[in-house]
Structure 1
Amino acid sequence: MALVILTIVIALLQINSYSDSSVIKTVPIALSALCLYYYALKSNINTILALIGQNKSLLFLLVMILIGNFRSNYPDQTIGFTISRTISTLLLFSALLLAIRYYVYKRGFSVIDIVANFILIPYTIYFLVNFALWISGVTLKESVMTEEVVNKEAVLLSYLGLTINRVQFPLSTGLNNYAVIIGAIFSISLILLIIIQDKKYKLLSFFSSVTSLSTLLLIDSRVAIYFPILICFFLKLSKNSNFLVKITPRLFYLVILGPLFLYLFVPLLAYLPFIDMITRNSEELATGNSRFLIWSICLTEFFNIKPIHLVGYGYFGHYGSGVSLEWADIFSTWIDGDLKTSHNTLFTILFDYGYLGLIIYSLVIYNTSKRISKFWNINTKTSLLTFGFISFNLFAGITETLIGFYSPNYFILFFLFLFTEMVSNSHKTTLSQTNYKPVRTNPLSTAYSTLVTTIN
């Protein structure tokens, strides 16, 4: 297990990005390969293929993202870097899938065990390393923001009497990318701590919650704080009713309807009396922090139907299509403003992978949601945890890009969680089929009983 945790932590730290040493650059790939080899020896290839065959949509999504990487529009991305990233991703994800299957099938681990050990522990270590580097004054990456963006006061901390500018942590490429990762971990930790109330991992979930919340306050990402709290509040109210079972398969509607929800709902918040306390200015709500303007440009692009829209433009499709040049002025206070995404998962999928990609992504969300609903009464704790993660992914995806390599560490988290859910519920299905024993009856006895019943 230590090997898996170490492999994930090294992948999250992205140490190959901070050194020109060929030895250091090969460490993540070597660890993933070692982990894959170790758990491949403990696995049956036929059962792995059967597992993948039962969940083709998730495999198609991964393949689609990797193909999109080879069709990259990002300036100066070399073919060597593309091949290296593809190999490291395949090795890491294959190793994680085999490790998860081993611990679920062979060691009897529950989803909570896997999530605690393979998600909460590695990601909390990652956050703590970032904290330590920031406190030490270490800078590893060039800031993607100008001083005008960085030198803004953290709103929520100001109400606690603390005057601190927003923090960009050393291992993060930007505020929002890092915030959604922490927000997802905050959601998982809160659900374990408050909703499931798992005693085994109570201390871990509490520590992870505190670490996540502290980081989000310093980043000043309010949405990544509000969503986990609201999701937990909703689960607390309805976890014992059948309402969740009924609405879960319909979660995938948020993939498409999410932006419309924000269009209609957010401007109404401007009329709430306390809203000034949690926003930086009135324009932030009126324009969705400029996202409404960007999405209008995106809609114009996709209303003019083109053949390329079927498969998309490839990685950084918004830039390759030339559309992002129309909103570059909005990001004038950021470096490389013309490379900024649409800040919406739906539009990013359309730009990069087209309508075909949108169908595959929607199928992944639908199939996962359907399994949650199916196993709700059998495995309620797993269903609650998965519902919380998928809900956060969909709501946060309304205002951020949560697909592919735009946020590599969220990319890992997304597949790591879905692998865990997929393997666990597949194991439940296998067990239920194995334990099913048809009742053997004597045909003559059955006929006699039927005749007696008819006469009577």
Structure 2
Amino acid sequence: MKLGALAIYIVLIQIGYLFNSFALSFLPMILMGFTSMKILEKSNLSFLKLVNINKNLLLFALVGSIALIRTNYIGISFVMSAIQVINLILFIYCFTLICNVEMKRNDANSYRVIITYLLTPFLLLAVTNFVLYFLGISLTQSQLGEESGTYQAILLSYIGIDITRVEFPLAGGLNNYASYVGAVFMINIALIMMLEKKSNLLRASAVVFFITLLLIDTRSSIIYPLLILLCLYLIRNKRRLSKGLKFVSLFVVVGPLLFTVLLPLVSSLPGFEFLERGDNDLQTGNARFFIWLFAFAEFMSFKPIHIFGWGDYGHFGSGVSKNWTSMFQGWANSEYKTPHNTMLSLIFDYGYIGLILYISVIWQSIERLRYIWDKKPIVAKSLYTFVLYNIITGVTEVLGGFYFPNYILLFYMVTIIINVQYYLLKRQENVDKLVLLPNL
């Protein structure tokens, strides 16, 4: 296996957190640094070019890094926050170098970067989870409440399999794990749909990811990918994406309002009862609507701190989360439970500045995907599914910060692949223009 993919896998297993080891927290930093040095031998990408390629993303990462340093989570030291920030910076730097070298070297099949350096590390993580689960090894604290009967695997029960939802050893929470497994499963299937020659690796990874999602039993992480893949199938032959599609990024803001209106309507329709875990579960967004009311109340009157936010776990630092702690009775760390919405969480942590930067990253990604669409259709279409998934899933989950660390790394990875592919195509376009200029 290539060194870069192995390094990413080590980062994903969050080894320092798993073993509660300060020393092991440096391992991702060392691996990323070593990998970067090896790649620099083959890359002519200067640091300034790297910054220019990822300008919007780096601004968002800067705001996120400041929030990590200002964390409100009791027990996380300044040094641990600083290590997390350095690991993030090295990850962005290293992954950009990997994409630049690999996509230049294999320009005709640049989509292989997605398979080798994105899907493969997440597949290894999923397989590791299965191995540890079957061996009965648990490495992280359970996030489930005491009323275990609530956590039956609903979807599997409809085909006669009666088990409780599986909390995998390296998952760090059901929604955490499901959020990024659902995303990579969708990208995986999108590649299978578009590639003429289907590799056994893609087939195997699709099966592993799908079984994982069924065992976790998070409904949105199965339903959203299937709906988005249907949309991709319907537009698969389009030569260009509509210019107005970039406004989809604003769904980050209006999404909670639409869900508040639409979910009660959907829950009243016949045929959707199979998605409910209990009374009014679907109608109230699994109690998310009540949480959002408390969170929105904080922002009804402006305060200067709303501009930059309270820092990481801002909902706790602001004191607002105490209003919904009782809803998570029996859950681990219930006082830190998030507002279950990306927009609200970003404002609590990064302020309005952070929210604007987050939307600008998505806006730019869609614009660049429009440019890539007819030139590198496999890259563009497979990653376009992620952009949609990120926006829609972010309505009911917190995806913009480091609460789901592997998901935010996936967000950075997808954005970097889009940025590097755009940069390489633009550079080639400029070269072609120079060649066509008449000699004076």
TM interval, short-chain normalised: over 0.9
**Comparing 328-337 with 220-229, which one deviates more in the overlay?**
328-337
* C-alpha distance after superposition, 1:30-50 (max 9, x if no partner): 21111011112333353x412
The amino acid that maps onto 1:112 is Y
From the superposition, tell whether residues 235 and 21 of structure 1 become closer, same or farther in structure 2 (CA, over 3 Å).
closer
**Comparing 3-12 with 252-261, which one deviates more in the overlay?**
252-261
Question: Which position in structure 2 is the counterpart of 1:197?
Answer: 195
SS of residue matched to 2:280 = helix
- The answer as to whether partners of 1:150 and 1:167 remain within 8 angstroms in 2 is no
Question: Which position in structure 2 is the counterpart of 1:403?
Answer: 400
Question: Which position in structure 2 is the counterpart of 1:337?
Answer: 334
- The answer as to whether partners of 2:246 and 2:363 remain within 8 angstroms in 1 is yes
- TM-score, length-normalised on structure 2? 0.95
From the superposition, tell whether residues 352 and 25 of structure 1 become closer, same or farther in structure 2 (CA, over 3 Å).
closer
Q: Does 1:269 align with 2:266?
A: yes
User: Which of residues 348, 365, 368 in structure 1 aligns to 2:365?
Assistant: 368
Question: Which position in structure 2 is the counterpart of 1:453?
Answer: none
Please give the alpha-carbon distance, in whole angstroms, between the structure 1 residues aligned to 2:122 and 2:411.
13
Q: Does 1:92 align with 2:91?
A: yes
- The answer as to whether partners of 2:15 and 2:25 remain within 8 angstroms in 1 is yes
Please give the alpha-carbon distance, in whole angstroms, between the structure 2 residues aligned to 1:323 and 1:147.
24
- The answer as to whether partners of 1:151 and 1:166 remain within 8 angstroms in 2 is no
Please give the alpha-carbon distance, in whole angstroms, between the structure 2 residues aligned to 1:21 and 1:350.
31
Q: Does 1:236 align with 2:233?
A: yes
Question: Which position in structure 2 is the counterpart of 1:440?
Answer: 438
1:203 positional shift: 2.2
- The answer as to whether partners of 1:43 and 1:102 remain within 8 angstroms in 2 is yes
1:12 positional shift: 0.9
1:375 positional shift: 2.7
1:94 positional shift: 1.3
- The answer as to whether partners of 1:36 and 1:92 remain within 8 angstroms in 2 is no
Please give the alpha-carbon distance, in whole angstroms, between the structure 1 residues aligned to 2:407 and 2:136.
25
From the superposition, tell whether residues 132 and 62 of structure 1 become closer, same or farther in structure 2 (CA, over 3 Å).
same
1:190 positional shift: 1.2
1:376 positional shift: 2.0
Please give the alpha-carbon distance, in whole angstroms, between the structure 2 residues aligned to 1:417 and 1:93.
11
The amino acid that maps onto 1:7 is A
Superposed, which structure 2 residues align to 1:74-223 within 5 Å? 74-108=73-107, 110-149=109-148, 152-194=151-193, 196-199=194-197, 201-223=198-220
- The answer as to whether partners of 2:39 and 2:97 remain within 8 angstroms in 1 is yes
Please give the alpha-carbon distance, in whole angstroms, between the structure 2 residues aligned to 1:99 and 1:379.
18
- The answer as to whether partners of 2:68 and 2:311 remain within 8 angstroms in 1 is yes
1:378 positional shift: 2.3
Question: Which position in structure 1 is the counterpart of 2:8?
Answer: 8
From the superposition, tell whether residues 419 and 54 of structure 1 become closer, same or farther in structure 2 (CA, over 3 Å).
closer
From the superposition, tell whether residues 67 and 31 of structure 1 become closer, same or farther in structure 2 (CA, over 3 Å).
same
Larger radius of gyration, structure 1 or 2?
A: 1
From the superposition, tell whether residues 289 and 339 of structure 1 become closer, same or farther in structure 2 (CA, over 3 Å).
same
Please give the alpha-carbon distance, in whole angstroms, between the structure 1 residues aligned to 2:181 and 2:164.
19
Gaps of 5+ in 1: 443-456
Please give the alpha-carbon distance, in whole angstroms, between the structure 1 residues aligned to 2:27 and 2:439.
62
Question: Which position in structure 2 is the counterpart of 1:424?
Answer: 421
Please give the alpha-carbon distance, in whole angstroms, between the structure 1 residues aligned to 2:410 and 2:106.
22
1:439 positional shift: 5.0
1:299 positional shift: 1.1
SS of residue matched to 2:111 = helix
Question: Which position in structure 2 is the counterpart of 1:65?
Answer: 64
1:433 positional shift: 0.9
- The answer as to whether partners of 1:313 and 1:353 remain within 8 angstroms in 2 is yes
Gaps of 5+ in 2: none
1:205 positional shift: 2.2
SS of residue matched to 1:374 = helix
- The answer as to whether partners of 1:248 and 1:372 remain within 8 angstroms in 2 is no
From the superposition, tell whether residues 117 and 264 of structure 1 become closer, same or farther in structure 2 (CA, over 3 Å).
same
**Comparing 237-246 with 348-357, which one deviates more in the overlay?**
237-246
Please give the alpha-carbon distance, in whole angstroms, between the structure 2 residues aligned to 1:25 and 1:389.
29
1:305 positional shift: 0.7
1:170 positional shift: 0.6
User: Which of residues 288, 291, 304 in structure 2 aligns to 1:294?
Assistant: 291
Please give the alpha-carbon distance, in whole angstroms, between the structure 1 residues aligned to 2:82 and 2:381.
38
* C-alpha distance after superposition, 1:208-257 (max 9, x if no partner): 22111111111111110011110011111122246843443222121111
From the superposition, tell whether residues 27 and 279 of structure 1 become closer, same or farther in structure 2 (CA, over 3 Å).
same
1:29 positional shift: 2.1
Question: Which position in structure 2 is the counterpart of 1:452?
Answer: none
Q: Does 1:278 align with 2:280?
A: no
The amino acid that maps onto 2:125 is Y
SS of residue matched to 1:399 = coil
Q: How many residues align?
A: 439
Question: Which position in structure 2 is the counterpart of 1:312?
Answer: 309
From the superposition, tell whether residues 151 and 283 of structure 1 become closer, same or farther in structure 2 (CA, over 3 Å).
closer
From the superposition, tell whether residues 155 and 311 of structure 1 become closer, same or farther in structure 2 (CA, over 3 Å).
same
Q: What CA RMSD, in Å, does the superposition of the two structures yield over aligned residues?
A: 1.9
Q: Percent identity?
A: 34
Please give the alpha-carbon distance, in whole angstroms, between the structure 1 residues aligned to 2:32 and 2:372.
32
Please give the alpha-carbon distance, in whole angstroms, between the structure 2 residues aligned to 1:198 and 1:345.
37
From the superposition, tell whether residues 304 and 428 of structure 1 become closer, same or farther in structure 2 (CA, over 3 Å).
same
- TM-score, length-normalised on structure 1? 0.92
Please give the alpha-carbon distance, in whole angstroms, between the structure 2 residues aligned to 1:129 and 1:418.
26
